[in-house]
Amino acid sequence: MTIMNKWLSSAALGLALSVTSMAAYAETPANMLVIANRIDDITTLDPAESFEFAGSDVSRNVYGKLVNFDPLDLAAGYQPDLAESWEVSEDGMTITFNMREGVSFHSGNPVRAEDAEFSLRRAVLLNKTPAFILTQFGFTPENIEDTIRADGNKLMITTDKRYATSFVLNCLTATIGGIVDKELVMANEVDGDMGNTWLKTNSAGSGAYKLDSWKPNESVTLSSNPDFYSGAPAMERVIVRHVLESASQRLLLERGDIDIARNLNPEDIAGATAAEGVKIVDELKGRLMYASLNQAHPVLSKPEVRQAFKYLVDYEGMRDSFLKGQYTIHQNFLPQTYLGSTDENPFTLDVAKAQELLTAAGVDGLEIEVGVREAQERIEIAQSLQNTLAQVGITMNITVGTAKQILGRYRSRELDVYLGAWGPDYPDPQTNAGTFAYNPDNSMEAQATGLLAWRNSWDTGGLTAKVDAAVVENDRDARVQMYKDIQAEFRETSPFVIMFQQIEQSAMRDNVTNFSTGQAITSASYWQVTK
């Protein structure tokens, strides 16, 4: 059985199962939100470790942070959350947070500055994939007792040098900034893991929702926190069902068995638009679709080959067909709306140009493997690439797997080519510059799995130093130009073929109001939803 046959068989089975299970569903209750979404990328729900799209949605609703975003006013930027205010020292290196009084964790334990101290220190000590978001400020296991410290109701963090305060605060809105219940987490510690094993499948937050269950590749169930400090959510229960197939999601939505379908393809969007009681909401996301070439590969590491791949993408053809309305052409690592973003898109499909580059590199025939998650649009993108690459004599074999399988191989540097998506962790240009164009240690021993440059075995050369300089630049206009210059060099030299920026189209019952997927700066939130 071919890869594609396997995919179609799997899709058909998924549809059959979905249809079979529909009999158990009635129209959703007024106090319950039911969402269909692909959630097979979740590998852990520990905020110090979680680094996938669906996991960040869970974390956003379960964990409070020092600062956070208002889903009804995202343009306002970060706002007080568990910290009700803060002050910055004269030298700009220490931020003192004043913790909000009277807030409790789901356990009933009070939220203290000590919990915030523990949470941030814990993230540094565990040193999981997203740890770099904090350690970029100079926090280390050796200095955290001095640089992250609680004093009564105050939490002080001291960075290694002066950064823009907005940059530091934006980083604290990332998933890793979730504040956990120290007492509960440490009560579940095993062999010095600081509760990591337990928190993979449990929660210890203070947010609008608490985790009831996570069944891998099946569902996430949340229940409301009646004591949420800003008021109990209207949706007392949220169920996110893993439904892979677009057609299945649409059928469930039109029957009233779910409230929101998040992964409809353009054809099903068009069909759902005409359905009674359904509306479509568009949000420009920060999520980028890209392919990347492993620089440990002796051929893919040649500069001409890297460049050739960028001329072997049918950008317009894909945008105007199976990606219609859901992606816009974008060839830069900073998404539109971000400080320093640019609309320069110099590459078009040009097979002749690609052939010239390959000939100059001495490449005549090549067989490679691309890893791709079992999602319809990603498989179709891979097939389009497979077709254009074949025109210059490159055989690209497509390996389809679960998100966990493919991401695991990508993070281990095992794939020749990876095709997937990347979304920002916080609303500052460093969030993507520091992953795509930054790699201070390219050795295997570094295990810098949070850096995409590292995953692709790419020593960025001078770009790493340029990213370091840009992140501490205090002049806004100068900083904007620095990121534009970095992206210009990146487009020409990097092994990343950035293709599209996502426009998320959520199909939902017309009684659902205030649902937000977070636009380009954050994740989905549920506590403001009504129906």
The dihedral formed by the CA atoms of 506, 40, 372 and 447, expressed in degrees to the nearest 10: 120
**82 is written with which tokens?**
């568990």
User: Is 113 a residue whose pLDDT tops 70?
Assistant: yes
Note the pLDDT of residue 5: 38
Average pLDDT rounded to a whole number, residues 409-416: 97
What is the residue type of 381? I
Note the pLDDT of residue 10: 41
pLDDT in tens, 465-514: 999 999 989 888 999 999 999 999 999 999 999 999 999 999 999 999 99
Q: Are 341 and 332 in contact (CB under 8 A)?
A: yes
Q: Which value, in Å, is the radius of gyration of the alpha carbons in the chain?
A: 23
Task: Return the domain boundaries, the chain.
Answer: 1-58+207-277+510-531, 64-184, 284-504
pLDDT in tens, 89-106: 999 999 999 999 999 999
Average pLDDT rounded to a whole number, residues 32-41: 97
Confidence of residue 1 (pLDDT cuts 50, 70, 90): very low
The dihedral formed by the CA atoms of 451, 58, 407 and 470, expressed in degrees to the nearest 10: -20
Rounded-to-integer distance, Cα 106 and Cα 108, Å:
5
Note the pLDDT of residue 474: 82
Note the pLDDT of residue 27: 87
Q: Which fold has domain 1-58+207-277+510-531?
A: D-Maltodextrin-Binding Protein; domain 2 (3.40.190)
Rounded-to-integer distance, Cα 231 and Cα 452, Å:
39
Query: Which of 8-17, 114-123, 307-316, 321-330 has the weakest average pLDDT?
Result: 8-17
Q: What is the residue whose two structure tokens read 């700066």?
A: 521
Integer distance in angstroms from the first to the last C-alpha of the chain? 45
**130 is written with which tokens?**
């997203």
DSSP assignment string, 412-459: TT--SEEEEEE--SSSSTHHHHHHHS--S--SGGG--TT-HHHHTT--
Note the pLDDT of residue 13: 39
User: Is 3 a residue whose pLDDT tops 60?
Assistant: no
Task: Report the relative pairing of strands 219-224 and 209-215 from DSSP bridges.
Answer: antiparallel
Q: Which fold has domain 64-184?
A: Dipeptide-binding Protein; domain 1 (3.90.76)
User: Is 21 a residue whose pLDDT tops 50?
Assistant: no
Average pLDDT rounded to a whole number, residues 435-452: 97
Please tell me the pTM assigned to this model.
0.89
User: Is 281 a residue whose pLDDT tops 70?
Assistant: yes
Looking at domain 284-504, what is its CATH homologous superfamily? Answer: Dipeptide-binding Protein; Domain 3 (3.10.105.10)
Q: Are 285 and 501 in contact (CB under 8 A)?
A: yes
Element (H, E) at 254: helix 246-255
Note the pLDDT of residue 4: 41
DSSP assignment string, 318-335: HHTTTTTTTEEE--SSSP
pLDDT in tens, 49-89: 999 999 999 999 999 999 999 999 999 999 999 999 999 99
Rounded-to-integer distance, Cα 157 and Cα 66, Å:
12
Average pLDDT rounded to a whole number, residues 311-336: 98
User: Is 22 a residue whose pLDDT tops 60?
Assistant: no
pLDDT in tens, 123-172: 999 999 999 999 999 999 999 999 999 999 999 999 999 998 999 999 99
